[in-house]
Chains A and B, each alone.
Chain A
Amino acid sequence: MEKRFVYADNSATTKISKEVLDAMMPYLTEGYGNPSSIYKLGRDSKRAIETAREKCAAALGCTPSEIYFTGGGSESDNWALIGTAHKLAPTGKKHIITTAVEHHAILHTCAALEKEGFEVTYLPVDSEGKISLTDLENAIRPDTALVSIMYANNEIGVINPISEIGKICRKKGVLFHTDAVQAVGNVPINVTEQSIDMLSLSGHKIHAQKGVGILYIRRGINLPNLINGGGQERSKRAGTENVPAIVGLGVALENAVSDIPGKIEKVSKMRDRLIDGLLKIERTRLNGSRTDRLCGNVNISVEGVEGESLLLSLDLKGICASSGSACTSGSLDPSHVLLALGLPHEVAHGSLRLSISDETTDEDIDYILEVVPEVVDRLRSMSPLWERIKKAEK
């Protein structure tokens, strides 16, 4: 097969869609008014932001006044956690519950709060990457301020039972935040029906631009201001709005939720073909639940091969992918998510994440399935670890 370019890293970021770019363009050119200005040029910008807010509210099942535009998923996560912690600390609530497999935007924020004197419970996951709802119920205490559990995992694609978690938190009277950065557009979300109090999302994972996101905050929850200044975002996050990015996000989110069942059907078929094909390579395993899984996520461990060299080799063949390998993160420890599944270090080092989208084609899947085994063979042929594994087999 001829060399081609295959982008299989949609969990890292996505391509801006034409529709999003077209919607943004007027606000990158002639529509440059400051939304806070009184004249028409300003009012037009203001109206564009509020239209985007309405679209986002409709997509998430909330009211527009509950949508706060932020600088991205990490900012939203930081605001939800730190804001809630600081708000509730004076009432004696200094306990937070999260999971061991969250994104670093959550884990490192929790670590910072621990330094301030907050206590954090990290719920473990089983070998499939699932938390136990009983564990969650047992972990909730009278002094629990917040439960923060991701909607879907960014590395292994495991989807959490968010409605059930929402019910438990509501019953116990504890606030519930979810990092839905990977889930939006891949699973139906309705924050009201699912008893979600706060939800983070990011624009660039759904074909909008980088540097824009949302924190949904349920009415009645009054978080401390994130940025003090002007009256933007109900005075909670001051600073002149990023109008083109927000307009683009409105269109992107509207599109992302327009046909979720259709997307799931189309993409999961390609995902399953990819998983089945890759698992034919000897000594590979699928990481994360096969069933409760994002429609575009594939994460496999390939024994005897190190992740970064796998990625570099795939890149030479035109395939963009990602890994839970230590070497890609700049630390020497492999992915905390893969270790939480109970994978030995040496297996976690050799992981490969492919995240496909509805723009992926069957030809792309064919190409990946042709290239990955070749690359794995080459790397294994020069791997002393593989030599050892094969010797142990005999």
Chain B
Amino acid sequence: MLYSEKVMDHFSNPRNVGEIENADGIGEVGNAKCGDIMKMYLKIDNGVITDVKFKTFGCGAAIATSSIATEMVKGKTIKDALKLTNKAVVEALDGLPPVKLHCSVLAEQAMKSALSDYYRRQGIDPVPIVGEIGECEACH
């Protein structure tokens, strides 16, 4: 498995690890059976993501994609955070081995799941804004 230096950097020094007490949105995707679970915590003030933390059970790529995804949305507006794609995550990591691409999908889904949870807590239906968050295709 050939990981880029960026992946190894985010794996060995993951950014924003942990939990947020009184988070405004929490999302969790993946399952233990296929070996990846990602959980994202968001603190949102006036439509801006002021803090973000993650916890991940998974391989090196899963940890690195979670870490970089948190970096990519921190300080951004919800609107910008919703634009986070798995492709952008892969690019930011200088690429991922093909068998690990599903980890970047999980990172995107984890972020969207946390944003959906935020909207739900506001009493807003998240589906028209965030869209449906499917199951990880690689697991099925």
Q: Are B1 and A328 in contact (CB under 8 A)?
A: yes
Number of B residues with CB within 8 Å of any CB on chain A = 30
Partner of A309, one of B38, B39, B63: B63
Q: Are A327 and B35 in contact (CB under 8 A)?
A: yes
A382 at the A/B interface (Cβ < 8 Å)?
yes
Partner of B33, one of A304, A312, A316, A346: A346
Q: Can you name the residue of chain B whose Cβ is closest to the Cβ of A347?
A: B32
Q: Which residues of A contact B54 (CB under 8 A)?
A: 382
Query: Which listed segment binds A: B9-17, B86-94, B124-132?
Result: B9-17
A203 at the A/B interface (Cβ < 8 Å)?
no
Q: Are B35 and A332 in contact (CB under 8 A)?
A: yes
Q: Are B34 and A304 in contact (CB under 8 A)?
A: no
The distance in angstroms between the C-alpha atoms of A309 and B58, with both chains bound, is 7
B36 at the A/B interface (Cβ < 8 Å)?
yes
Would you list which residues of chain A between 345 and 376 have a CB under 8 Å from chain B? Answer: 345-346, 349
Contacts A325-B35, A332-B34 given; indicate if A383 touches B55 (C-beta within 8 A).
Answer: yes
Contacts A384-B28, A384-B57, A385-B37 given; indicate if A306 touches B62 (C-beta within 8 A).
Answer: yes
Q: Can you name the residue of chain A whose Cβ is closest to the Cβ of B54?
A: A382
- A23 CB, min distance to chain B CBs, angstroms: 34
Q: Can you name the residue of chain A whose Cβ is closest to the Cβ of B140?
A: A332
- B69 CB, min distance to chain A CBs, angstroms: 14
A137 at the A/B interface (Cβ < 8 Å)?
no
Q: Mark A380-392, 1 if CB is under 8 A from B, else 0.
A: 0111111100000
Q: Which residues of B contact A307 (CB under 8 A)?
A: 59
The distance in angstroms between the C-alpha atoms of A303 and B101, with both chains bound, is 25
A305 at the A/B interface (Cβ < 8 Å)?
yes
The distance in angstroms between the C-alpha atoms of A305 and B55, with both chains bound, is 12
The distance in angstroms between the C-alpha atoms of A326 and B32, with both chains bound, is 12
The distance in angstroms between the C-alpha atoms of A382 and B18, with both chains bound, is 7
B133 at the A/B interface (Cβ < 8 Å)?
no
Q: Which residues of A contact B99 (CB under 8 A)?
A: 330-331
The distance in angstroms between the C-alpha atoms of A307 and B58, with both chains bound, is 8
Would you list which residues of chain B between 1 and 35 have a CB under 8 Å from chain A? Answer: 1, 8, 11-12, 14, 17-18, 28, 32-35
Q: Can you name the residue of chain B whose Cβ is closest to the Cβ of A333?
A: B34
The distance in angstroms between the C-alpha atoms of A332 and B98, with both chains bound, is 12
The distance in angstroms between the C-alpha atoms of A331 and B1, with both chains bound, is 12
B60 at the A/B interface (Cβ < 8 Å)?
yes
Q: Are B55 and A346 in contact (CB under 8 A)?
A: no
Q: Are B60 and A332 in contact (CB under 8 A)?
A: no
Partner of B57, one of A306, A312, A313, A345: A306
Q: Are A306 and B12 in contact (CB under 8 A)?
A: no
B56 at the A/B interface (Cβ < 8 Å)?
yes
Q: Are B55 and A312 in contact (CB under 8 A)?
A: no
Partner of B35, one of A316, A326, A382: A326
Would you list which residues of chain A between 284 and 336 have a CB under 8 Å from chain B? Answer: 304-309, 312-313, 316, 325-328, 330-332, 334
Binding site for A on B (CB under 8 A): 1, 8, 11-12, 14, 17-18, 28, 32-39, 54-63, 99-100, 138-139
Could you name 30 residue pairs across A and B whose Cβ atoms are closer than 8 Å?
A304-B57, A306-B36, A306-B58, A306-B62, A307-B59, A308-B60, A309-B59, A326-B34, A326-B35, A327-B1, A327-B60, A328-B1, A330-B99, A331-B99, A332-B34, A334-B35, A344-B33, A345-B34, A346-B32, A382-B18, A382-B56, A383-B37, A383-B55, A383-B56, A384-B56, A385-B32, A385-B37, A385-B57, A386-B57, A387-B55
